[in-house]
């Protein structure tokens, strides 16, 4: 991929910033899109080791004219820009439609007009809802159990329509639950680590019985790169996951063990999702990505959590999180 130009939307976010670093190391010339703000802050791009080797753009995927401008002379697009917080989608669903569906439309239309060679659109395992069977393969029915998942289903359909209608060389990458350094405070793993690191003795939580297929962020990014490198992935929906199911409760107890903590977990009704909204089981069948790309995860849950705990426990990183505030 030497001299290939890659545009990463949502590059200022958790996964996007890590992917940006990886693409530079893989030999791409990277344009990294950060959401425009008057502070000229580039989010997590401010912390990456390869900042001098990328071109940072600021703007918004909700603007179709801007999308046409930034996709000129680009070989590949990794489209990660999205609103992702599930609880916030209950109270501000219209903003999710604007960013997730209309933003995807704008990127796909711009990619088509500018003849971009490859588009990797980012989906989410939340589109599957509670598993009807396990492990979950790409043929599993889609079940919108939150406004967030509904907009991601819509975004996926919009993206695939450009492949079906116009032969846009597009792949839908569908990562399962990613965790690791730089993850937002709205996610359960950073919430627990930061509170323990700040000396909390009791931590309020929602339901910890649901299961997830947790994946360390480096493995998720490796999955993106593997999909992008494969011509056989064009026109496909591809899960990125570990094929390992674990409950949130067991994951939190593993974090306690790694951090040598005696913290007590208590249930907070404010943090429990609406009754029919909670996704009870997510377990990835990763057979397809293995067969198409040869991808295999390299981190198990304990090793990934140890890396994550080490990063969050660094006072420089810990100070960026407001662990006392419940972040929707």
For residue 28, being part of any structural domain is answered with yes
Q: What is the mean pLDDT of the chain?
A: 95
Residue 76 sits in the same domain as residue 53: yes
Residue 168 sits in the same domain as residue 225: yes
Q: Which range marks the domain in which residue 192 is found?
A: 184-212+246-282+300-318
Checking if the pLDDT of 205 tops 90, the result is no
For residue 295, being part of any structural domain is answered with no
Per-residue model confidence as pLDDT tens digits over 255-313: 999 999 999 988 776 666 677 778 899 999 999 999 999 999 999 999 999 999 999 99
Quote the CA–CA distance of 270 and 248 in Å, as a whole number. Answer: 17
Residue 207 sits in the same domain as residue 227: no
For residue 121, being part of any structural domain is answered with yes
For residue 163, being part of any structural domain is answered with yes
The DSSP call for residue 50 is T
Please, are residues 196 and 203 in contact by the beta-carbon 8 Å criterion? yes
Checking if the pLDDT of 144 tops 70, the result is yes
Residue 122 sits in the same domain as residue 54: yes
For residue 87, being part of any structural domain is answered with yes
Backbone dihedral region for residue 113 (phi beyond 0: left; psi -120 to 50: alpha; all else: beta): alpha
Quote the CA–CA distance of 133 and 141 in Å, as a whole number. Answer: 10
pLDDT at 133: 97
For residue 290, being part of any structural domain is answered with no
* Percentage of residues in the chain having pLDDT higher than 90: 89
pLDDT at 274: 72
CATH number at residue 190: 3.90.25.10
Quote the CA–CA distance of 97 and 102 in Å, as a whole number. Answer: 7
Provide the pLDDT confidence category of residue 325 given band limits of 50, 70 and 90.
confident
For residue 326, being part of any structural domain is answered with no
Quote the CA–CA distance of 4 and 8 in Å, as a whole number. Answer: 13
SS3 204: strand
Cis peptide before 24 (omega within 30 of 0): no
Residue 136 sits in the same domain as residue 197: no
CATH number at residue 126: 3.40.50.720
Per-residue model confidence as pLDDT tens digits over 224-265: 999 999 999 999 999 999 999 999 999 999 999 999 999 998
Residue 52 sits in the same domain as residue 137: yes
pLDDT at 323: 81
Please, are residues 11 and 36 in contact by the beta-carbon 8 Å criterion? no
The greatest distance separating any two alpha carbons of the chain, rounded to the nearest whole angstrom, comes to 57
Beta strands 178-179 and 246-247 are unpaired
Strand partners for 265: 203
Q: Which helix (H) or strand (E) holds 158?
A: helix 147-166
Quote the CA–CA distance of 253 and 166 in Å, as a whole number. Answer: 49
Residue 194 sits in the same domain as residue 273: yes
For residue 255, being part of any structural domain is answered with yes
**How many domains, in total, are found in the chain?**
2
Its pTM surpasses 0.85: yes
The first and second tokens of residue 21, run together, are 């670093």
pLDDT at 207: 84
Residue 28 sits in the same domain as residue 169: yes
Please, are residues 9 and 16 in contact by the beta-carbon 8 Å criterion? yes
Residue 45 sits in the same domain as residue 86: yes
Residue 55 sits in the same domain as residue 79: yes
Residue 159 sits in the same domain as residue 270: no
Residue 41 sits in the same domain as residue 71: yes
């Amino acid at each position: 991929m030497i001299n290939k130009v890659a545009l990463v939307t949502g590059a200022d976010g958790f996964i996007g910033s890590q992917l940006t670093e990886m693409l530079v190391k893989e030999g791409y010339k990277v344009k990294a899109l950060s959401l425009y703000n008057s502070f000229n802050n580039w989010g997590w791009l401010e912390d990456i080791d390869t900042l001098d080797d990328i071109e940072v753009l600021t703007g918004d995927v909700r603007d179709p004219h801007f999308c046409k401008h930034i996709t000129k002379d680009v070989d590949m697009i990794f489209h990660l820009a999205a609103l992702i917080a599930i609880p916030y989608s209950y109270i501000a669903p219209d903003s999710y439609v604007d960013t997730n569906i209309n933003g995807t439309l704008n990127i796909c239309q711009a990619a088509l007009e500018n003849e971009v060679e490859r588009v990797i659109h980012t989906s989410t395992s939340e589109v599957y809802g509670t598993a009807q069977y396990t492990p979950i393969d790409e043929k599993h029915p889609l079940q919108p159990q939150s406004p967030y998942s509904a907009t991601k289903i819509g975004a996926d359909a919009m993206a695939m329509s450009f492949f079906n209608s116009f032969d846009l060389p597009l792949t839908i990458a569908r990562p399962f639950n990613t965790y690791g350094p730089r993850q937002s405070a709205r996610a359960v793993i950073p919430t627990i680590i930061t509170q323990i690191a700040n000396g909390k003795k009791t931590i309020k939580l929602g339901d910890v019985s649901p299961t997830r297929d947790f994946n360390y962020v480096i493995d998720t990014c490796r999955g993106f790169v593997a999909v992008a490198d494969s011509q056989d992935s064009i026109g496909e929906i591809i899960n990125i996951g570990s094929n390992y199911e674990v409950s949130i409760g067991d994951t939190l107890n593993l974090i306690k063990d790694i951090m040598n903590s005696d913290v007590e977990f208590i249930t907070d009704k404010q943090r429990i999702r609406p009754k029919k909204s909670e996704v009870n089981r997510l377990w990835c069948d990763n057979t397809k990505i293995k067969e198409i790309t040869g991808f295999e995860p390299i981190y198990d849950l304990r090793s990934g959590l140890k890396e994550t705990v080490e990063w969050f426990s660094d006072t420089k990183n810990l100070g960026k999180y407001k662990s006392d505030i419940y972040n929707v």
